């Protein structure tokens, strides 16, 4: 079963508008963490934002905020005031412990296109 689900293969948004990218996760651990990464066409993975399972407040980093709803097991990324440079693939990932080591499990990603 998928541990990270991103249901939107592609999303379009007008420049300067806000957009929400969906992510739901599945875990039985009490302690876990959720990440969002941006991957432009160059391929590098750019860290955007992190939310720990015990963090009481939603994480924010500049124009990025994470809408964390623990009971629903969702961790949606909100990008405010979209810019053309935001066009990229976006991956949601969860930190989990397996066999004594910590690993990241990635969703399938959402391709965001920002239109002028």
Partner 1 sequence: GAVVSQHPSRVICKSGTSVKIECRSLDFQATTMFWYRQFPKQSLMLMATSNEGSKATYEQGVEKDKFLINHASLTLSTLTVTSAHPEDSSFYICSASFLRRGFNEQFFGPGTRLTVL
Stretch that binds partner 1, among 14-22, 41-49, 65-73, 76-84 (CB under 8 A): 41-49
**Other C-beta atoms within 10 Å of 5: how many?**
16
- Among residues 1, 28, 41, 43, the one that binds partner 1 under rule CB under 8 A: 43
What is the rounded distance in angstroms from the CA atom of residue 7 to the CA atom of residue 109?
8
Stretch that binds partner 1, among 21-29, 35-43, 58-66, 75-83 (CB under 8 A): 35-43
- What torsion do the CA atoms of 93, 113, 74, 4 make, to the nearest 10 degrees? -40
- Is position 75 an interface residue for partner 1 (rule: CB under 8 A)? no
The CA distances from residue 92 to 14, 15, 100, 115, 116, in Å, are: 22, 22, 22, 23, 25
Cβ-based nearer residue to partner 1, 14 or 85 = 85
Chain residues binding partner 1 by CB under 8 A are 33, 37, 42-45, 47, 50, 52, 91, 95, 99, 101-104, 106-109
């Amino acid at each position: 079963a998928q541990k990270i689900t991103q249901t939107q293969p592609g999303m379009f948004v007008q420049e300067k508008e806000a957009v929400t990218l969906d992510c739901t996760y599945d875990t039985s651990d009490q302690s876990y963490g959720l990440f969002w990464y941006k991957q432009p066409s160059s391929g590098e993975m750019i860290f955007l934002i992190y939310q720990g399972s015990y963090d009481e407040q939603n994480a924010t980093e500049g124009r990025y905020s994470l809408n964390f709803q623990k009971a629903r097991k969702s961790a949606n990324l909100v990008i405010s005031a979209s810019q053309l440079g935001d066009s990229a693939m976006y991956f949601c990932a969860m930190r989990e412990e397996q066999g004594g080591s910590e690993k990241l499990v990635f969703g399938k990603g959402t391709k965001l296109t920002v239109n002028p």
